[in-house]
Amino acid sequence: MKTYLMKAYLSVFLISASVAGRAQAEEFEAKQVPANVQWFLHLDVGGFKKTQLGQFALKQAKEFGPELDQLAEQLQFDFRKDLESATLFGEVDEDGEQDKMEVLIRGKFKKAPLLDAWQKKNTFKIIHAAGHELLTWHDGDEKEQEAHFGAIVNEGLIAIGSSKERLVQALNVLKGKAPSLQPKQLGGLKLKKGSYFLAGMVNVKDLPIPPEAQAFKVQSIGFHLGEQDKKIVAHLLLNSADADSSLQIQQMLQGLLAMGQLQVAVSAEPGAKELGSVLKNLKIARAKNVVQVGLTLPVAILLEQLKLNFQNHDGDQPGRMELKFRTEGGAKNQDR
């Protein structure tokens, strides 16, 4: 796996989730994603920042205030105010390499400062392909340089891809010139407006998985995560090839849940009571070929655990975060 490329794209999600502020809600739109993707992940920044969990993330991000202020001044784009959503999608090679991916970033951008920042990247160039103006540059350490391709579609959308061909395909989809993801490809995943801030799906049947791992004939796995009435609401959907396979999945999950509840009930370990409460709220249902696992959890419980984790990691090296960005004076690293 090309780890640097993967980290670079996932960092978009981490930044999106942790520092987004006054953004507008941006729902997932399947018509903006190529039809042949094997997976996607969408973060509705505007929806997330309205939740208690989002407010907690904003509070934790305040320690990066000076660095983000400097970055906002340079780019004339403030992640805390101007970012609206991020959609990551891609494919996996037959050998399992995860190096075919793109990300669509929606927000309020200004082309000139963004171009100025990109021009400071190593081997930056502006090229043209299939009627699109593309930007290309390299990132990474001296031993492993990764090529990136990007496009400023308009002042509300930036697209970044792992290859020129992939990026051109994504841009063609946005212009309606290439096939896009259809609702029937979502494997029963229904994304009701306002009910989620994070959603994703993997087409398992298209992945290079050994035959012995396909016993339950799972075709796709989807999920969405939201917050409603001061509760975290999570749904996981397992779409199988036939009803018999989905029944087997349901029975297996129900058996595992029963075993877990029994073990927790007799356990004297710290946190067993809380875990038992979580398992009690776990629901497993089936409709034809789709098994749905639902979990409803008070936000207060999750926030309490997150606060404890931050306290335990305070001053501890494994809990530190690193924020990196390039400024006019060169590379700057700030450990937290």
pLDDT digits (tens, 9 = 90+) for 222-232: 999 999 989 99
CA distance 149 to 163: 6
From 16, 6, 173, 195, select the one nearest 107 (Cα to Cα). 16
> Which amino acid is located at 63 in the chain?
E
Phi–psi pair at 95, nearest 5 degrees: -90, 10
> For residue 232, what are the β-bridge partners?
227, 297
Mean pLDDT in residue range 8-13: 47
CA distance 121 to 125: 9
Q: What is the model's pLDDT at position 119?
A: 84
The residues, any chain, with a CB within 8 Å of residue 109's CB and separated by 6 or more, are: 77, 82, 152, 155, 156, 157, 158
Position with higher pLDDT, 186 vs 251: 251
pLDDT in tens, 89-144: 998 766 655 568 899 999 988 888 888 888 887 788 999 999 999 999 887 766 77
Q: What is the model's pLDDT at position 328?
A: 41
Dihedral, CA atoms, 209, 246, 288, 294, nearest 10 degrees?
-90
Lowest mean pLDDT among 16-20, 122-126, 176-180, 319-323: 319-323
How far the first Cα of the chain sits from its last, in Å, is 27
Model confidence, pTM: 0.81
Residue 3 has pLDDT above 70, yes or no: no
The burial of 53, by beta-carbon neighbours within 10 Å (0-12 exposed, 13-18 middle, 19 or more buried), is given as: buried
Mean pLDDT in residue range 310-329: 49
Mean pLDDT in residue range 166-185: 93
CB-CB contact of 289 with 241 (8 Å): yes
Which percentage of the chain shows pLDDT scores above 90? 39
Q: What is the model's pLDDT at position 97?
A: 58
Q: What is the model's pLDDT at position 95?
A: 61
Q: What is the model's pLDDT at position 235?
A: 95
Residue 21 has pLDDT above 70, yes or no: no
What stretches of the chain show up as alpha helix (H) in DSSP?
A: 3-19, 45-49, 52-60, 65-75, 79-82, 111-118, 164-174, 243-265, 272-280, 299-313
Cα–Cα separations (whole angstroms), residue 161 to 81, 149, 324: 24, 5, 20
The residues, any chain, with a CB within 8 Å of residue 316's CB and separated by 6 or more, are: none
Q: What is the model's pLDDT at position 4?
A: 44
Mean pLDDT in residue range 72-84: 81
Residue 206 has pLDDT above 70, yes or no: yes
CA distance 204 to 229: 33
Which percentage of the chain shows pLDDT scores above 70? 81
> For residue 237, what are the β-bridge partners?
222, 292
CB-CB contact of 18 with 61 (8 Å): yes
Mean pLDDT in residue range 179-208: 87
The residues, any chain, with a CB within 8 Å of residue 266's CB and separated by 6 or more, are: none
Cα–Cα separations (whole angstroms), residue 14 to 57, 264, 323: 10, 33, 11
> For residue 18, what are the β-bridge partners?
none
Mean pLDDT in residue range 60-69: 78
Mean pLDDT in residue range 189-198: 88
- Strand, coil or helix: what is 208? coil
pLDDT in tens, 230-282: 999 999 999 999 999 999 999 999 999 999 999 988 888 887 887 888 888 89
